[in-house]
Structure 1
Amino acid sequence: MIILMIIGMSLATMLPRVIPAFIIEKMQFRPWINKWLSAIPYAALGALIFPGIMSVKPDEPHHGIIGGLVAIVLAYLGLNVILVVLGAILTVFLLSF
């Protein structure tokens, strides 16, 4: 009985996440919508990371601000989101020495 409940809960969680991926793949959007949708990962990343930027090192807040500026520049250059995050982390790491 417990196994059936686990399978049911996993399906209830998985289906709403998987179905939109198949639906959106077949849809064609206007170019301005595609441009707006491509900005969403960077906007979400900014909303999640900004509080951390301000509190990287409480006694030296300029480390986080410089790391955030590096992330902005890398994102503006169009790098992959993972490379943007790694660049900011590396900058703060190097400034901490």
Structure 2
Amino acid sequence: MTLLWILLGMSAVTMVPRWLPVWLVGRWKMPRWIRRWLNSIPFAALGALIFPGILSVEPDTPSVGLIGGLVAAILAFFRLHVLFVIAGAILTVVGMKGW
């Protein structure tokens, strides 16, 4: 019986933070500046996740990762398919490391 209460409590604690924003967004008209700010969060989070990895590609020479990231950014700027962007960055890093 205790396990059942634990599972129900964990379900409620998990469900409320997921359900509450959906309920609020449907009933509240957000100002434009808040919507713009919320739309930029995925890009900021992605940058925060990727940039440390770029610097740690080659611990002794972080320029290898930075140049690979720069190549990926340039290829993405020209709207190439994501597989070409990834392949270009990988080939750049491998070429600089001297496979």
TM-score higher than 0.5: yes
Bigger radius of gyration among the two: 2
Q: Shift of residue 58 of structure 1?
A: 2.5
**Structure 1 pair 90–26 and aligned structure 2 pair: CA distance change class (3 A):** farther
Choose which of 85, 88, 95 in structure 2 pairs with 1:91. 88
Return the alpha-carbon distance in structure 1 between the equivalents of residues 15 and 88 of structure 2.
37
Report how many aligned residue pairs link the two structures.
Answer: 90
Return the alpha-carbon distance in structure 2 between the equivalents of residues 32 and 8 of structure 1.
36
Return the alpha-carbon distance in structure 2 between the equivalents of residues 71 and 10 of structure 1.
41
Return the alpha-carbon distance in structure 2 between the equivalents of residues 42 and 24 of structure 1.
21
Aligned residue runs from structure 1 range 1-97, under 5 A: 1-69=2-70, 70-71=72-73, 74=76, 89-95=86-92, 96=94
**Structure 1 pair 92–12 and aligned structure 2 pair: CA distance change class (3 A):** same
After TM superposition, the score normalised by the length of structure 2 is: 0.63
Q: How much identity, in percent, do the aligned residues show?
A: 44
**Structure 1 pair 32–87 and aligned structure 2 pair: CA distance change class (3 A):** farther
Whether contact under 8 Å (2:56, 2:62) holds in the other structure is yes
Whether contact under 8 Å (1:68, 1:88) holds in the other structure is no
CA distances 1:9-28 after superposition (whole Å, capped 9, x unpaired): 12212211221122123322
Code of the aligned partner of 2:63: H
Return the alpha-carbon distance in structure 1 between the equivalents of residues 61 and 7 of structure 2.
47
The CA RMSD over aligned residues, in Å, is 3.1
